[in-house]
Structure 1
Amino acid sequence: MMASTGGLPRSIGAPATRALNAAGYTDLAQLADVPAAELSKLHGVGPKALRLLREALEARGTSLT
């Protein structure tokens, strides 16, 4: 199971984590400047996961586009 250390935040939930991993995103830093619309197309990535990813990225000084 993916840990949040260097990976994706656990708070986004298992379905979103699985969807992002399947799409090749295994680390939060990889999501910087990725369009939110692209991520929302992934089955398992809903509004809550997108909000949590935005918040996590903003805490690092980056964001989704």
Structure 2
Amino acid sequence: MVDEVDLPRVSAPARRALVAAGYVRLDQLAGVDERELQKLHGMGPKALRILREALEERGLSFRT
């Protein structure tokens, strides 16, 4: 359910892409390969930057 999504403020297309891929919480993105997220339709460089910064604030990161 979209009301239960706990992600940083990214564009609507990026948010829909994440939810469709099963990512509804920021912590679920920790350890995910950033290149895989780039492949999602609607996921642009700005959204990836916002997510990367949000992860870093929590001491987490994408897989390198």
User: Structure 2 length as normaliser, TM-score?
Assistant: 0.89
**Hey, what's the Cα distance between the residues in 2 that align with 1:61 and 1:55?**
10
Aligned counterpart, 2:47: 49
- 1:51, distance to aligned residue in structure 2 (A): 0.5
**Hey, what's the Cα distance between the residues in 1 that align with 2:51 and 2:62?**
8
**Hey, what's the Cα distance between the residues in 2 that align with 1:6 and 1:60?**
17
Kindly report structure 1 stretches of 4+ aligned residues shifted beyond 3 Å: none
1:1-65 counterparts in 2 under 5 A? 2=2, 7-10=6-9, 12-65=10-63
List runs of 5+ in structure 2 lacking aligned partners. none
List runs of 5+ in structure 1 lacking aligned partners. none
**Hey, what's the Cα distance between the residues in 2 that align with 1:14 and 1:29?**
19
How many residue pairs are counted as aligned between the two chains?
Answer: 63
- 1:50, distance to aligned residue in structure 2 (A): 0.5
- 1:13, distance to aligned residue in structure 2 (A): 1.1
**Hey, what's the Cα distance between the residues in 1 that align with 2:56 and 2:5?**
16
3-state SS of paired residue (2:6): coil
Structure 1 vs Structure 2 CA RMSD:
1.8
User: Structure 1 length as normaliser, TM-score?
Assistant: 0.88
Contact 1:2 1:8 in 2 (8 A): no
